[in-house]
Structures are given as C-alpha cells and as structure tokens.
A and B are shown apart, each in its own frame.
Chain A
C-alpha cells in the first residue's frame, strides 16, 4: 500500500516534448485513470513510473521512497500490458508464479498464493494450460492474476482492456472494479476510453499534449470540464459548444455580470470583458419544448436518431450545430422547429480564446 508522487516529470524524444513538467499524486489505495487521446503522453508517464522509460527531468516517489533511479524490479510495482505479455513458454500456473519465484519464495508458499490469485480472476481451471491455448480474455485474466499475485504496492495498467471485444470489455471492467475495491491496491490505469475512465476511476487525470489539464473526481470532470478540450473529449456525444455574443448592459451597477444572447434568449453570463463567450452544454442539459417559452431558444431539427433509452437530436440554432438528447416518446421530424431550455445550473462558460473554463461568479 503506497502513494505515488510524481513531480516535475518531463520527457523529450529527440526534440519532441512528450511530457512537460507533469505533477501527479495518487493517494494510497486510490484508483486513478490517466485519460487522453493517443499521443498525449499518458503511456509514457506510466512507463516512467514503472521504470521502463527514463524521464528527462523530475522525480517519482512510491510509498515515500524516491524510485527515480531504481530499476523496475526494485520499485515494488507490477504492471499489466496492453498486449497481455503473458509468457508463452510457461503454463498459466508458472506465469502467475513467476513474480513469486523471483522473490525466492518457498514452494509451499507459492501454490496457495497462485491459487488465490487464480480464484480472484476465475482461471483456476486453466492453470495447467499454455497461453497459446487461451482466448484473449483469458490471457488478460492471467496477466492480471500474475500482477496481483506478488501483492504489489502499486498496480500499473496500460490500456489492459483495449484488445478485448466490446462485450468482454464491459464484463472485465466491472470485474476489475470489484477486484481492486477488494484488494485496495493503489492503481494507475491508462486508457483512451472515456467510458472506462468514468466507470473505474476514483479520480481522472485528463492529459493532453504532455500535460495534465484536469485532475478530479469523474463527476466533476464530466460536469465542470476545465476547458473546451476536456468537455469535448469526455462524454458521448461530447459537450456542445455554442458561441454567444456578450455585452455588458448599461447601468448594471458594477455587478460582475454581462448578458449573452443565443437567438431570442438572453442569458446572464460572467463579465470578462470579452465580446464573445463559449457556452458549454451537455446534450442532456437542454430541455426540448415544442412550444415557445421565455427561457428557451429556437432550433431546427436536422436528424432524429432513436437510440432506445432516448432520442439523439442533431439541431441547428443560430447557424450553430448541437446535439441534444430527448425523451424517446417525443414525436419529431427533420425540419421541425423546437425550443431548447438550458438548465440554468448546467451552464458552463468558456473563454473562446484560451478555451479555459470561466469560474462561476460568486453572485451567480
């Protein structure tokens, strides 16, 4: 049981900056997901923590020890790889026992530990087989059992589910969550799948271009994205971003507020001195009305996609496209006009130049 503390990590590949002064703290027993698009540096960061890659600058502490200069074997970690990395010339039993044998553990101690790890991953019946006789999902179970058998202080996982098919991934996801809640192992998990991140993480660290842009609990990352990138990356369909003209009304008595207009609707917005503001709205944060309302703006339906639990509408409002979910029993056709009422508490204002979220004003 240990915390991971990463400070000032930078990594250069030639002249390309893969990681740029990254700091990250994973608390003891916490499950943190590193989330980001491919090439954002998340796997590089994980490999640096594992000791498989050396950082250009910065330090890594695991459980209070500075492990920056230590080889992987001395870091008390174990790792699960994307392509499983199960040893093909060893049986499942020997794979799971590998780390224990390396610790020079006695034979009578090894067998129960292997049994226990195998039971956790439901592979007790496969122990005598060779990896070539296993399916992809079974191999991944072996890889996880092998990593857990050594009872590491820290478990590192590099996109462990991405090579599995969709159904299996769903099943393994829930199983991993159950398992790691039980063991309480500090876990750092890399993925590009935002659903995986939302479902597994205690906290999500969203990465982009070698930096961590937001590090918070899943619901905050979802509800209060730090910038336009995070809002667009997390959520399916992603957050809508509407550009609104903003102006400061005459004589508002110094209140830090301006008025932003979306079609016929005027919304109170933070006063930033900018002429344009970006309004971030999740597809489910708009109410679809079929008659005009004072606190709604009109939009034209373009596409209606019945998805079962809800309808997914693609609309255009003031020449700006947006996607909105609606109750499945709503009868709508393309070219219909509807009125959209944003939920007042879900308005997220962003700076159109920097993309950064604008902190809500204290009066709002």
Chain B
C-alpha cells in the first residue's frame, strides 16, 4: 500500500515536471499581455485572446522562418525516406556480408558530434553555393534522421512476411510490382510514421540550422537568435509554436517508436 502511494506520487511529480511548463506556455501564449505579468496567476485564464499570437506573427521574419522550417522539414522527410527506406528494405530482406556491422554503423553515426562537422560543412557549403539555403540545412537534417529512418523502416519491412512478396512473384509480379502492390500498402502506416518522425527531428533541430544559415533562418534558429532580446509574450508564443507540432506528431506515432526501441532489435 505504501509502495503504491510512493509510486503514484513519483508518477505525479514526473508528469507535473513535464506537463506544467507546457500548460503555462500554452495558457500564456493565448492570453492578453497584461495577464502575463499578473500575479498571482490562476491555473486557468479568465479569458483567452489571440493578441499575443498575432503580435508574434506580426514580427518581421517570423513568417519567413516558419516557411523555411516547413520547407527544410519536408525536404528532410523526402531525403530520409528516399535513402532510408531502401536501406531498411535491404536490411530486412537480404543477407549480405557485414550486415550486422552495417546496422551498428548506422547507429554509431548518431554518436558522431555535429559540432565537429559543422564548421567544415559550412565551409564546404559556401564552396558549393548551398550556404544559407534550406537545402543545406535539409541535407544535415537528413543525416540526422537517416539512421532512424533506416532502422524504423527495416523493422516495418521485417513485419511483412517475405512469402507475400514471393506469392506475388509466382502470380506474375516483377519485384517492383510486388513491392508497389503489396509491400507499400502494407507498410504505408509505418512509412507515414517514419516521415513524421523525420519531420519532427528536423523541426526541432537548432544547432546546424543556426550555423548554416544567416538570413534564411529556420524557426528554431530564428527564435534562438531573437529570443534574448524579445519581450515576454513573444517568447511564450514562440515557445508554444515550437513545442506543439512535435508533441502532436510524437503522440501520433508513439506506437512505432516503441517498435523501434522495443521489439525491433533484429
């Protein structure tokens, strides 16, 4: 009985730890400016207002940063899936020498510190004329998302029995037709989840985005540079806007994250 009480208390503290800031952020992003400075605060505001949000979007550069963020994230999704899904398929379906080593290598790339790469990358991108474009940021974000994309998709493809493809081959399909007619529809929910995951990784990334851009900032990079000099309401609105998409997406694909970290170690 006592253990149960302790367990619940701990759980409650942990939930509050995570949820309270989000709650405050959300409330303050949708109240009037005066309410932000009011003290003491109620847990629930008396009336909502879009004043803070509209102020936030009225600031010069926000829309552009938002557009860049979305563009970079979408490019990351396309690159990560285009490169990661075939790798995942190969890991799931084929035996080849060094397969286990390859799988470990994919994970190890995540351990490589981005800081060390950032400066040489910036120089290289300047040479290539990619510096300060969404393409440059998307390429780096693809590198970050690719290991997850390959591993998640490999577990998705593993979950689709090989015999289904073989049956399709014997019934007249080429390998590509069998993939399009069978594997793709069956893998689609998982592939969508992978895409969302890649989107969130890109959306939240700030370091590479800051180093590799000057004017074409993504939202995270833009906020990081302007937040210290911004008024409080602006900070709340910006924080809200950064957190919410990530939260919604993570919630939508949590089942697939469990597969990645739980069952999919084969």
Contacts and interface: CB of A to CB of B under 8 A. Distances in A.
A234 interface: no
Nearest to A74: B172
Interface in B149-196: 161, 163-164, 166-174, 177, 182, 185-186
Contacts of A98: 168, 171
A89 interface: yes
Interface in A40-54: 50-52
A274 interface: no
Contact of B170 (A72, A83, A88, A89): A72
Contact of A103 (B163, B166, B172): B172
Contact of B163 (A51, A72, A77, A83): A83
A272 B171 CA distance: 54
A73 B182 contact: no
A332 to B, nearest CB: 50
Contact of B171 (A51, A82, A88, A99): A99
Contact of A73 (B163, B164, B170, B186): B170
15 contacts: A50-B166, A51-B170, A72-B170, A73-B170, A73-B174, A79-B166, A81-B166, A82-B163, A83-B163, A88-B186, A89-B185, A98-B168, A98-B171, A146-B171, A150-B172
A85 B169 CA distance: 12
Interface residues of A, number: 25
Contacts of A364: none
A102 B166 CA distance: 14
Interface residues of B, number: 16
Given A81-B163, A85-B161, A85-B164, A50 B170 contact: yes
Given A81-B163, A83-B163, A85-B164, A102 B171 contact: yes
Given A83-B163, A99-B171, 13 more contacts: A50-B170, A51-B170, A52-B169, A71-B169, A73-B174, A83-B161, A85-B166, A87-B164, A88-B164, A88-B186, A89-B182, A99-B172, A103-B172
A78 interface: yes
Interface string B94-105: 000000000000
Given A71-B174, A78-B171, A103-B172, A87 B182 contact: yes
B167 A73 contact: no
B74 to A, nearest CB: 27
A72 B182 CA distance: 16
B161 A73 contact: no
Chain B binding surface SS class:
helix
* Residue with the highest number of chain B CB atoms closer than 10 Å, among A77, A83, A98, A156: A98
* Residue with the highest number of chain A CB atoms closer than 10 Å, among B166, B171, B177, B186: B171
B186 to A, nearest CB: 6
Given A89-B185, A89-B186, A102-B172, A72 B164 contact: no
A150 B172 CA distance: 10
B96 to A, nearest CB: 13
A85 B171 CA distance: 12
Contacts of A99: 171-172
Nearest to B167: A85
Contacts of A73: 169-174
B173 A79 contact: no
A87 B178 CA distance: 11
A161 B172 CA distance: 24
A82 B185 CA distance: 23
Nearest to A104: B172
Given A99-B171, A99-B172, A102-B171, A72 B161 contact: no
Contacts of B177: 102
B169 A72 contact: yes
Nearest to B169: A72
Nearest to A152: B170
Q: Which 10 A-B pairs have the closest CB atoms?
A: A102-B172, A99-B171, A85-B163, A85-B167, A72-B169, A79-B170, A73-B172, A72-B170, A81-B163, A89-B185
Interface in A85-105: 85, 87-89, 98-99, 102-103
Contacts of B172: 73, 99, 102-103, 150
B83 to A, nearest CB: 26
B161 to A, nearest CB: 7
A52 B166 contact: yes
A98 B164 CA distance: 12
A290 B210 CA distance: 100
B26 to A, nearest CB: 39
Interface string A308-331: 000000000000000000000000
A143 B171 CA distance: 11
B163 A102 contact: no
B169 to A, nearest CB: 4
A71 to B, nearest CB: 7
Contact of A79 (B167, B174, B185): B167
B135 to A, nearest CB: 36
A73 B172 CA distance: 4
